[in-house]
């Protein structure tokens, strides 16, 4: 069957393209990211895939792709962080009020849009946090969509999807902006195939089914080494019920502290996980053990296979796993895109 070409920019460790490649219908032209540990991950796990460590915020997209001899691609994916925005004054809105207008071009999202503008993929998908749509009272996202719509020939849409609705054992809501230039006017997204109550199909996947078999295998599997928690934190964890959070109003004085975050929430075996949030050394608490999840357990919840090994220090591994698009959700997107390209592609 026909294969389609694929490029992944701001790829991280490649959860997004992992799902696309699992379908065996895509040929990877390039994955690109600036993070050294993401490069190390690709060299270790996917040496056959073309990966380039490059600062995508400092390139001229047209020159970059011309030098690589790549003038077009079937599908472009990526997850540029939302940062580095600036304002360029104000303008009148429909209700005659003034509001700030954002210079999307100076944002990493703007660089992603430039890749779309230069490569003109038949289909593109950009993933970002849910809050992108409400950031700066929604004004920033409005300017993002305006910039996307300035590219001739594209039908643009967006949708907030919950990974749990696609078989990922995690409540993870993310914004997907997607578009095509092949005349597919409906511009649909993958239909959910898992449901909280299971009435319309399969029930949401649970944490227990994802990680229970790892109990007792600590330090025997790559990336499955628990943190050495301080006795005070272990005592705190022991007070957290399964599926609950720290009972701050019932803590003895010696265990109290301000600002108990998501790392002081215990997961439930019979429910999906909380969102795997990167940026620290600790994920939420194991459903029945008095410790935080290991990187391997978090990767299981993100639907990464056990044969993938995460590199760098623990904090970097947490960020790599937590930032990624769950490969299973990405695969559902890939199959959706395949159906569209098979039917409408040139």
Query: Which has the higher per-residue pLDDT, 262 or 232?
Result: 232
- pLDDT tops 60 at residue 56: yes
Show which residues are catalytic: 82
d(CA 210, CA 234): 24
**What does pTM read for this prediction?**
0.93
DSSP 79: -
- Of the pLDDT bands very low, low, confident and very high (cuts 50, 70, 90), residue 235 is very high
- CATH number of this structure's domain 4-191+325-344: 3.40.50.150
Query: 88 pLDDT band (50/70/90 cuts)?
Result: low
If you average pLDDT over residues 262-270, what whole number do you get? 91
Instruction: Find the angle CA(234)-CA(237)-CA(241) to the nearest 5 degrees.
Output: 155
Local confidence band at 90 (pLDDT 50, 70, 90 cut-offs): very low
| Contact between 85 and 107 (Cβ < 8 Å) | yes
Between the two ends of the chain, the Cα-to-Cα distance in Å is: 15
Beta bridge mates, 112: none
Q: How high is the mean pLDDT of the chain? A: 92
Q: What is the pLDDT of residue 173?
A: 96
pLDDT at 282 over 90: no
pLDDT, position 2: 94
How many Å apart are CA 76 and CA 127, to the nearest integer?
11
> Would the pLDDT of 8 be above 90?
yes
Task: Give the 3-state secondary structure of 211-273.
Answer: HHHHCCCCCCCCCCCCCCCCHHHHHHHCCCCCCCECCHHHCCHHHCCCCCCHHHEECCCCCCE
pLDDT of residue 1: 87
Domains of the chain, residue spans? 4-191+325-344, 207-323
- pLDDT score recorded for residue 92: 43
Q: What whole-number distance in Å separates Cα of residue 293 and Cα of residue 286?
A: 5
Q: Give whole-number Cα distances, 37 to 11, 72, 106, 113, 319, in Å.
A: 12, 28, 25, 25, 10
Are 10 and 292 in contact, with CB atoms under 8 Å apart?
A: no
In sequence order, the 6+-apart residues with CB closer than 8 A to the CB of 166 are 190, 192, 193, 194, 326, 328, 329, 332
Which pLDDT belongs to residue 91?
Answer: 47
The answer, yes or no, to whether residue 96 has pLDDT greater than 70, is: no
Q: What is the pLDDT of residues 111-135, one digit of tens each?
A: 999 999 999 999 999 999 999 999 8
Cα–Cα distance, 144 to 177 (Å, whole number): 10
Residue 196 and residue 204: Cα distance in Å, rounded? Answer: 5
- List the structure tokens of 171: 């409540």
Q: How confident is the model at residue 280 (pLDDT cuts 50, 70, 90)?
A: low
- What CATH number is given for 207-323 in this structure? 3.90.120.10
Position 99 pLDDT exceeds 50: yes
């Amino acid at each position: 069957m026909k294969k389609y070409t694929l490029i992944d920019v701001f790829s991280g460790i490649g959860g997004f393209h992992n799902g696309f490649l699992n379908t065996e219908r895509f040929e990877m032209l390039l994955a690109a990211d600036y993070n050294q540990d993401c490069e190390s991950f690709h060299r270790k796990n996917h040496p056959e895939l073309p990966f380039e460590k490059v600062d995508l915020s400092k390139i001229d997209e047209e020159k970059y792709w011309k030098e690589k001899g790549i003038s077009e691609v079937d599908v472009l994916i990526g997850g540029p962080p939302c940062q580095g925005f600036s304002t360029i004054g104000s303008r009148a809105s429909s209700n005659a009020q003034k509001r700030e207008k954002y210079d999307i071009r100076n944002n990493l999202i703007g660089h992603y849009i430039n890749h779309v503008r230069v490569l003109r993929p038949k289909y593109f998908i950009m993933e970002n946090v849910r809050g992108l749509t409400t950031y700066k009272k929604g004004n920033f996202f409005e300017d993002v969509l305006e910039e996307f719509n300035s590219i001739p020939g594209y039908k643009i849409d967006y949708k907030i999807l919950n990974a749990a609705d696609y078989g990922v054992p995690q409540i993870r809501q993310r914004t997907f902006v997607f578009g095509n230039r092949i005349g597919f006017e409906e511009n649909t997204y993958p239909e959910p195939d898992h449901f909280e109550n299971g009435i319309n199909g399969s029930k949401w996947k649970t944490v227990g089914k994802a990680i229970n078999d790892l109990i007792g295998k600590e330090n025997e599997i790559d990336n499955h080494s628990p943190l050495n928690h301080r006795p005070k934190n272990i005592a705190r964890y022991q007070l957290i019920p399964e599926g609950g959070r720290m009972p701050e109003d019932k803590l003895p004085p010696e265990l109290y502290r301000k600002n108990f975050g998501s790392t002081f929430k215990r997961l439930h075996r019979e429910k999906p996980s909380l969102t795997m949030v990167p940026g620290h050394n600790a994920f939420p608490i194991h459903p029945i053990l008095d410790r935080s999840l290991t990187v391997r357990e978090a990767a299981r919840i993100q639907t990464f296979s056990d044969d993938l090994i995460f590199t760098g220090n623990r904090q970097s591994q947490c960020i790599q796993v937590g930032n990624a698009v769950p490969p299973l959700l990405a695969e559902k997107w890939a199959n959706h895109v395949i159906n569209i390209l098979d039917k409408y592609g040139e």
